Amino acid sequence: MKLPEKFVERVLRDLGETEGTALCAALGTPSPVSIRLNPAKCPDTELLRRLGAGHRVPWCEQGYYLTERPQFTLDSDFHAGAYYVQEASSQFVGRLLDGVRSEGARILDLCAAPGGKTTLYASLVGPEGLVVANEIDRRRAQVLADNVRKWGTGNVVVTCCDAQRLGDFEAWFDVVAVDAPCSGEGMFRKDDAARGEWSEGNVRLCVARQDEILREAWRALRPGGTLLYSTCTFNRDEDEGSLERMLAWAGEEVAEADVPQPDDTWGIVCGRVGAFRTYRFYPHRAEGEGFFAAVARKSEDAPGRPRTPKSRRPILASVGKADTAELARWVVQPERMRFALVADTCYGWYAAQADAVRTLSEALPVIYSGVALGQIFKGRLRPDGALAFFCGLDREAIPCAELNEEQTLRYLRRQDIDAEPLAEGMNLICARGRALGFAKRIGARVNNMYPNSLRIMMK
């Protein structure tokens, strides 16, 4: 599909004939394929060799380019959350937090689906931190929740609401990231649908939404905290223009952030808009798709103190002593965790942010949080599929069954699998040593418990 004529006209006008022509030509070339490894699941050199990894993404320690695109859907390590298929340019947001004490931080990812940046932030903040990942579209929020489960860090709360409800958590977050809804021009190379959906009217609509979201993001950010703003478009009105409009009302509350300077060889075009440092990725200059990012701080003396909305109703119910003991035996460090019931399912959260999770759960529509452990029947846990992905799972709690490639694909398709590798009763199903889910052997029969929402549909 050809590039939209109005887009080409604007690019040539904004960038000049030489740069604009080079950009449009690059949008007709193949997109690079890149992944980001999950450091909590110890990806090894064998995984990289098998996927055909080439050189590292220079601005992300865990990022790698692949020499060609494999069938990720048929790779068990992909389903185990050992890596995330993430566009290289967008991995740059992690570097923007190099000057921030991210471990233990509270991060709001305000426009989070499908979860690439959310999982990156979750790895950065660690067990002592918390990521609140919001998506206003419920269908996309469910995809986000699935990706968070597979990543397995247990430190994410997924919400589904408009930005204003997150803004009501005033001065509550150390970092607020806005990957704003945009016209998607940076995706023209890899997605024909983005070309077909583009229009000047949609650009104007996106601009208005971005302005609204930035106001709520600023409310939610504590004084001294860091604001990240990003889009996947080249359009100045949605990029530098959004920052200029924000500076018109935020004024001196916006302060410069401490960010390392990118290496010149990376091809990133650096700039400034007031106190904001800006970074542009053009596919004819940098090895990635079109991307724009900016960072600034909220000044320490900006007005605002932490405030949360009133609780609607209790959501989390306490777990009895005997049930707590049963849950504790399934995790490696139970002393660092807190457990509670949501409806009839037991959940676990790291103690450092357990009170924050309760506050969020009682004020917002939460789709998923922490780690779903499962349901207790007659004193024994029937594990939820999410528990298999959890990095803090104690594998001594249950027999592990290692499947070969054929049986693994049958398991991921939720088909019947052979009973022979499994012990009688509940088993943790693994492939290449990485956990995928649970199955229960009853004699010669196996109950495949892989979540229906995650199963492979393709042949």
Residues known to be catalytic: 232
At residue 140, what is the residue type? R
Q: Alpha-carbon torsion 404, 410, 413, 417, what sign?
A: negative
- Asked whether 93 and 122 are in contact (CB, 8 A), the reply is no
- Asked whether 401 and 407 are in contact (CB, 8 A), the reply is no
Tokens of 404: 């070969």
3-state secondary structure at position 366: strand
Which residues make Cβ contacts (< 8 Å) with residue 341, sequence separation at least 6? 316, 317, 318, 319, 347
Closest CA to 229 of 220, 240, 237: 240
Question: Distance (Å, rounded) from C-alpha 458 to C-alpha 88?
Answer: 27
Count of CB atoms situated within 10 Å of the CB of 310:
7
Question: Distance (Å, rounded) from C-alpha 390 to C-alpha 150?
Answer: 8
DSSP letters for 305-353: --B-PPP-S---B---HHHHHHHHTTBS-GGGEEEEEETTEEEEEEGGG
Q: Residue 114, preceding bond cis, omega within 30 degrees?
A: yes
Residue whose pair of structure tokens reads 């990894």 in the numeric block: 53
What's the angle, vertex CA 178, arms to CA 78 and CA 274, rounded to 5?
A: 135
Residue whose pair of structure tokens reads 């992300």 in the numeric block: 60
- Strand-strand pairing, 345-350 and 337-342: antiparallel
What's the angle, vertex CA 30, arms to CA 52 and CA 92, rounded to 5?
A: 70
- Asked whether 266 and 56 are in contact (CB, 8 A), the reply is no
C-alpha 88 chain-centroid distance:
14
User: Quick one: DSSP state of residue 260?
Assistant: P
3-state secondary structure at position 114: coil
Closest CA to 121 of 202, 39, 11, 15: 39
Question: Distance (Å, rounded) from C-alpha 96 to C-alpha 294?
Answer: 8
How far apart are the two ends of the chain, measured CA to CA in Å? 29
